[in-house]
Structure 1
Amino acid sequence: MKSMKVLAVDDNRTNLHILQVFLKKLGHEVVLAENGEEAVKRFEADHPDLILLDIMMPVMDGFEAARRIKAMNQERWTPIIFLSALNRDENLVEGLDAGADDYLTKPINFIVLEAKLRSMQRSLAMQQASIDSLRRVQTISDNVLDAIVTTDDHGAIVSTNLSAERIFGWSAHDMAGRQVAMLLPSDSPIGEGSIFGLRENDSCGALGQEREIEALRKDGSRFHATVSLSQVVLDGQRMHIAVIRDISERKAAEQKLQENAEQLQAYYEHTQSEQQLAMRLMEKQLHRTGLKDSCLHYSVIPAENFSGDIVAAARSPEGRFYALLADATGHGLTAAISVLPVLALFYRMTKLNRSVREIILELNQQLRESMPIGRFVAATLVCLDEVLHRGEIWVGGTPETFLVNEDGTVARTFVSNYLPLGILDNKELDAAPETFFWLNNSQLILCSDGLLEAENCAGQQFGVAGLIAAATASSPTDRFEKIQDALTTHLGDNLASDDVSLMIIDCP
Structure 2
Amino acid sequence: MTKMKVLAVDDNRTNLHILQVFLKKLGHVVVLAENGEEAVRKFEAELPDLVLLDIMMPVMDGFEAARRIKAMTRDRWTPVIFLSALNRDENLVEGLDAGADDYLTKPINFVVLEAKLRSMQRSLSMQQASIDSLRRVQAISDNVLDAIVTTDETGAIVSINQSTERIFGWLQQELIGQNLAMLMPEETMLGSPGRLPLASEGGSSPIVARECEILAQHRDGHRFPATITTSQFTLDNHRMLISVIRDITERKQTERKLAENAHQLQDYYDQTQAEQQLALRLMEKQLHRSGLNDRCLRYKVIPATHFSGDIVAAARSADGLFYALLADATGHGLAAAISVLPVLALFYRMTKLSRSVQDIVLELNQQLQESMPVGRFVAVTLVCLDESSRRGEIWVGGTPEAFLLDGTGQVAQTFPSANLPLGIVTSSELGGAPMAFTWEPKSQLVLCSDGLLEATNAADEQFGMQGLIRAAANTSSADRFEKIEQALQAYQDGNPASDDISLMLIDCP
User: Which has the higher Rg, Structure 1 or Structure 2?
Assistant: 1
